[in-house]
Amino acid sequence: MASISLEYGIAGCWTGEIPEAHLLWQFGGPPALLDVSTAIADALAQPLDFPALRQALVPGDKVVVVLDRNVPSAAEIIAAVWQNCLVSGVAPEDVLILQPISLTGVTPADPRRLLPDAVRQAVVWKVHDPTNDPEIGYLASSADGERIYLAREVLNADFVLPIGRLGFDPVQGRRSALSSFYPGLSNTEAFAKSRGQGHSELGPDEERPMSQRIQEIGWLLGVQFTIQIMPSAGHGGAAAVLSGHPDSVTQRGRTILDASWRVIFDQRGETAIVSIPAAPDEPTGWEQLGNALEAASRLVVREGRIIVLSDLAADPGPGIQLLQSCRSAKAALQPLRRQSPPDLVAASQIAAAADWASVYLLSQLPSQLVEETFMTPLESEIEVSRLINACDGCIVLAGAQHAFTEVPV
């Protein structure tokens, strides 16, 4: 028997056994850094192809830290960035932490929690509002002639520091430290133009219009220093920290991400059991479920089984609600494309997975909601174990929301 242990949600951990003859593959994901604060401090002191962060700042600088959503160890990063600002003579009232608006409207956790009390009160934390036109200014016209608008705080800053999550993305292919700029810091028109389904037929390195636009914005802004954090397979921890010149961070990040989260198996299985770990300040959302199901779908045969371990409790967005109203998962795909709700990607991923395989979901959602989204609710870890005991040709994938999976034809 092969022993399996999968962390999921904020504190959940399922343990079980699978007959070795029934286990095809097991992927555990990268472990979390033992001392993330030291790793962050070291990365800022010795960045890639750029001087230390403290040397790039001068007294009087207006510093805007653009912090993306779902960045592991965000509070530890902000604390380390502030230490560099302090050494450089930057006043706390001259530091703004700006986060992009979420398409699903979820309010992020305050990233200032590890700052000293007086500093925390002086440093401003703000979530961008794309509907507030006076706070949005014109940056430039893109190469294809589109006028680009961004938050005025970014346009007026002396130093812009983007902090992002290193990972795969269904729309962009790969996330970069610049991904938070667009459409998250732009206007409502940019959000409307950017809505679209993921490109499941493309690999992460193939050209994506959204990715090209984001890189162009970074060049137009003249961003010189970025920070990227790669998630671990555990409860919201960081597995790697990169900082430095954007081009160098992007290149190194691609190598690390592929080695850590690009999963290639040589055959599909009958069953995939996948986990979705989360951090206390970044609870599981429908976006994470959608990404995990897309990764799992590539690993199982048609009409196979996908077992998801999560603590998802979030309210459904308009796309999920549309899925609930359809007669089948497949029937939801066309109206989702037509109506293009804010959670289009997640809803489409869930619908496509439910059409491909039987999906069993352990979560904190009402059973009726799970059933209405064409999944089978699991009430406890005991039910998970019962399903696993009956499986054959099983694939185990930890931290599935972070993985890009492939089974070469």
Q: Please report the pLDDT score of residue 275 as a whole number.
A: 97
311 and 254 inside one domain: no
pLDDT at residue 330 tops 70: yes
269 and 382 inside one domain: yes
Quickly state the pLDDT bin for 205 (edges 50, 70, 90). confident
277 and 236 inside one domain: no
Half-sphere exposure of 276 (CA within 13 A, CB side): 28
- What is the pTM assigned to this prediction? 0.93
Tell me the mean pLDDT in the region 85-99.
Answer: 97
220 and 162 inside one domain: yes
Q: How far, CA to CA in Å, does 37 sit from each of 107, 119, 241? A: 25, 18, 10
Q: Please report the pLDDT score of residue 316 as a whole number.
A: 95
305 and 400 inside one domain: yes
pLDDT at residue 146 tops 70: yes
Quickly state the pLDDT bin for 208 (edges 50, 70, 90). confident
92 and 234 inside one domain: yes
Tell me the mean pLDDT in the region 341-347.
Answer: 92
pLDDT at residue 376 tops 80: yes
Residue 209 vs residue 344, higher pLDDT: 344
pLDDT at residue 319 tops 70: yes
For residue 315, which of 339, 341, 335, 286 has the smallest C-alpha distance? Answer: 286
Tell me the mean pLDDT in the region 97-104.
Answer: 84
Q: Please report the pLDDT score of residue 12 as a whole number.
A: 94
Residue 279 CA to residue 259 CA, distance in Å, equals 23
94 and 12 inside one domain: no
51 and 161 inside one domain: yes
Q: Please report the pLDDT score of residue 176 as a whole number.
A: 85
pLDDT at residue 112 tops 90: yes
Quickly state the pLDDT bin for 20 (edges 50, 70, 90). confident
Q: Please report the pLDDT score of residue 264 as a whole number.
A: 92
pLDDT at residue 153 tops 70: yes
Query: Phi/psi at 36 (nearest 5 deg)?
Result: -70, -35
Q: Please report the pLDDT score of residue 286 as a whole number.
A: 95
The whole domain housing 129 covers 36-259
pLDDT at residue 344 tops 80: yes
pLDDT at residue 381 tops 90: yes
Q: Please report the pLDDT score of residue 103 as a whole number.
A: 67
237 and 99 inside one domain: yes
Q: What is the DSSP string of 141-187?
A: E-TTS-EEEEEHHHHH-SEEEEEEE-EEETTTEEE-TTGGGTTTTS-
Host H or E run for residue 320: helix 318-324
Half-sphere exposure of 218 (CA within 13 A, CB side): 23
Q: Mark which of 218, 238, 259 sits at the end of a domain.
A: 259
Q: Mark which of 223, 242, 259 sits at the end of a domain.
A: 259
- For the record, the structure tokens of 69 come out as 């959503």
CATH number at residue 105: 3.40.50.11440
pLDDT at residue 226 tops 60: yes
Q: Are 210 and 184 in contact (CB under 8 A)?
A: no
Q: Are 241 and 72 in contact (CB under 8 A)?
A: no
Q: Mark which of 230, 259, 288 sits at the end of a domain.
A: 259
CATH number at residue 375: 3.90.226.30
For residue 137, which of 122, 154, 115 has the smallest C-alpha distance? Answer: 154
Q: Please report the pLDDT score of residue 34 as a whole number.
A: 92
CA 104-314-151 angle, to 5 degrees, is: 25
pLDDT at residue 249 tops 70: yes
114 and 212 inside one domain: yes
What is the number of domains present in the chain? 2
pLDDT at residue 409 tops 80: no
Q: Please report the pLDDT score of residue 104 as a whole number.
A: 67
Quickly state the pLDDT bin for 212 (edges 50, 70, 90). confident
Q: Please report the pLDDT score of residue 105 as a whole number.
A: 60
Query: Phi/psi at 160 (nearest 5 deg)?
Result: -110, 125
389 and 295 inside one domain: yes
218 and 114 inside one domain: yes
Q: Are 396 and 26 in contact (CB under 8 A)?
A: yes
Q: Are 111 and 68 in contact (CB under 8 A)?
A: no
Q: Please report the pLDDT score of residue 197 as a whole number.
A: 57
